[in-house]
Structure 1
Amino acid sequence: MKSTIATAKLSQLAESPFTSVPLANIRAGENPRRYFDRGKHDELVASLRLRGMLQPILLRPAPEPNGGYSVVAGGRRYRAAIEAFGPDGQVPAIIREMSDQEALEAAIDENDVREDASETEQADAAVRVLAACADDRAEAARRLGWSASKLDRRLALANLTPAVKTALDERKIKVGHAELLAAVPGDKQDKALETILTSGIDVAKTRELLMRVTHSLAAATFDKAECAGCGYNSARQCALFDTHVEDGHCTNAACFALKVEAAQSAERVSAPSSAPAVNGKPEAPAATANKPVAPAKGKVTATVLAAKLTATRQREWRDAVAAVIVESADHLRVADLAGSFIKSGTAVGFEKVTALASEFDVDLRQHWRVDRDFLELMTRDELKFVAKECGLISHMGEKQFAAVVSQPLKTMIGTMLNAPGFDWAGRIPSSMSLAGNYEPPHAAEARPTSAITKD
């Protein structure tokens, strides 16, 4: 449905006086759209050559040192005009002074009215407008000229991985596929997409397969208070999308397993002692009976450690996202907004931080690395887990690392950080990754961790 607000805005612009501007003085602006149909482009080029450009494009003065103008609305016509008329050609244009935010909203308005922007392009644009509105959804919906429900649906699609977004933009999958995949953690989406594309699975079959890996929340024994507003709760998905799994299910298997494990651990800790009787009398409790029960050996897992380090992970990602937004001159002027991400107590939900991290292609390697403060948050067994997944044990050898483990904890951490020939730079433990997987240095991504050896 077309936005009446967007239509009114563009109608006002259409009535504005326009001038003829040389194409050589125009450069492409920032467009919410990512995918352009080559066939439609060729048709537009032919039309321009035959009839000329009948509708002016919207420009704003470009900042120095390049000067000239940048396209706000009419990017497809601008690209076609370059091909049809060459750089010496001229096109009709309306020139307006605009801020970055005003330009973004005008570009979204045009795509809304023309109904040719994909759902994911609208989703990414919605994330940016919401960020500029300091997470005020009512204000973001007003600026976009959308209903609150449309804004919520588009923001939910912002959780799609780049590969899934591209597949939907290019219409390789249907909106129903995307709505189902948006309810799945990012590290599972690309694998599911590959299966959908290679096997030609339709929406109904995709829903059936997804139901097999969900968990009923009604049968869960842990406290489900946190699940009420979770994006992986199908109750929320039912309210947003036409296509969804059955109500009352969790689509994040890793999180569900973590909560089950935590609940079981709590039960073991609080369970009364069942000491055997001696000479018909109960045995006296040991001196340590009231101390917390240590987790069973070998119980350290990626999900357990990630849960423990949630606050650290979210704080570092907030800082990284804020830094990238401030440094991105080609994006919105949101230096003030960035401050809201630096403090972990911000009202901006971490879901939005995750979406912005994807939108701005934030690489945590450029902003954070394993250090003493990070390692000192862990137990000895947790340190061993991180050392193994990051390749340190493979680098040192099992026998030599066993000697390191026997050292006092602070000495062990120092030895790990200063192991000869081993560099922690660029290694992101699974507990710090948004996807929940270990991320190696860029140069090492082509080879498994186990292949990293001494220099």
Structure 2
Amino acid sequence: MQQQPTLRLGDIKLGRNPRQYFDPAKMAEMVESVRVQGVMQPVIVRPLDDGSHELVAGGRRYRAAMEAHGADYPMPVIVKPLDEFEARSVALIENIQRDDMAPSEEAIAAAEIVGLCKGDRDEAAAQLGWSRPVLDSRLALMNCSAAVLDALNTRTIKLGHAELFAAFTKEQQDKLLPVVVKESRTVADLKKTLEQVSCSLPAAIFDKTDCAGCQHNSAAQAEMFGESIGTGSCTNRACYNEKTEKQLEATAAGLRDEYQTVRIVRPGDNHTRIQLVADGSKGVGAEQMKACYACQNFGAAVSGLPDSMGKVYKGQCFDTVCNMKKVAARIKSEKAPDTAAAKAATATGASKATSATSATTAASAAKGSKPSTTANPEATVVAESDRVKTYRVALWRKALRREVSADVALARQYLIAVVATGDARSIAAEPVNTIWERLIDDKPAVGDFSKAATAAAALESDVQVKLLVALAMSAIQGVDVPYLVQMCRHHKLDLAKHWKLDKEFLELITKSEMKVVADELGLRAAMGDDFKKVFAKSKAEVIDALLSVEGFDYSGKVLKVLKF
């Protein structure tokens, strides 16, 4: 039997442990067990670049062994070559699936898993082995204040208490928590208390005009005494919540013209976004940051959290895993030994960056403000969103069909090539049958080869040619995208003959990306001083202006993002 590998306990570095609370009585039992029997189940570690190992899972066993035997104890280990993000996922799931983990710790760990899954809660629930309702209820706890989470962690309050607290601001929670603990209020008692707390109208983010005369406005009855509606509260929580949601959606809708991704963030979405920055411990680097502006995961967040309801956070990255990898790559590149040439280039770049930073800082200081690194970031390219991809593939198919359909010999040649390369399955019957029915005023004999062959033999030669072209058109429409690209390249398809800037395309992209389009096509130069004025208007007005620049020749110009 192969012996379990071990590492000196003191040589294992502690990693990030989702579990923060260790029940003293249970830990004492484990320490005694390890003292007598040793550690029976190996811990999971991962090798680091410097040759050491980091603990991934097994924090309680590590602590018990350290207390029972000290740093020289030969700790049984399972070594797994995991990167930082895989290690975090393993640690989270390993801990969260243990039944003695506090709901508050489960909430924090589950929120990180959701972040690793790019906000996909269904995927996160599957990884955790939870139902979606269980996941959502845990994530809701992320709106609890630190004091409430700590009280739940240490079992000072129950899960029901925390779930009720989560609906209110952290300030309200911290005021009420000591009372609940001191007076040993039950969950039912707390529920009655919180049901009496109305929704604050002054804090509402929606238009309160209709609230003035509403019977659910607590200030309505007091107006005869001269009290302002600003002091009122709403006692109809359902109506209040509905209006709040509509306002959140309206705020998000207003940002979608500017950013590729706009999300309303809820409790539990803590790790699904991060502020994109170039420098510092979380910086991706200046060049990478510019590239990120064009990413589909770049955008803005609208807060749906009680403490910051309706607040907008711009310049957000919604792929935190990718962001962390970019940060790690930047830090690694900075630590790597440089050649003399690289050092010289770095020095030159640093000098320029320092000069630019100094100028920015000086200008900001003169205005009495701090320099901002995220104000109105602009795309540097048009992002290849799903909508843009769908648009350009449709353009390729339409353009290729148009040229091939005009040349019968070419249609026959391409049809033979499609069949010869095993892609005959891409030829759909429906378009051909439609042509058949229109040309000979009869439906084809579906499933009856003999009848169809006889009918085909009776067709006049010009009708057969038309059906052959229809087959080629169906093939072009049906082949997959990589094969379509091959066809376009072989054909040397000139998209400039088939496309010019239109409203349909501009509606697919953001205003920031429209500036990229304007630069690439030469529209910015043609618009001159009017360019900035135009982009201060709504998206619809910008589109109209870009499509009606006087004296500008739109033909013969194709965007890079549309080319194959």
- TM-score after normalising by structure 1: 0.49
The structure showing larger relative contact order (alpha-carbon pairs under 8 Å, at least 6 residues apart) is 1
- TM-score after normalising by structure 2: 0.41
Q: Which has the larger radius of gyration?
A: 2
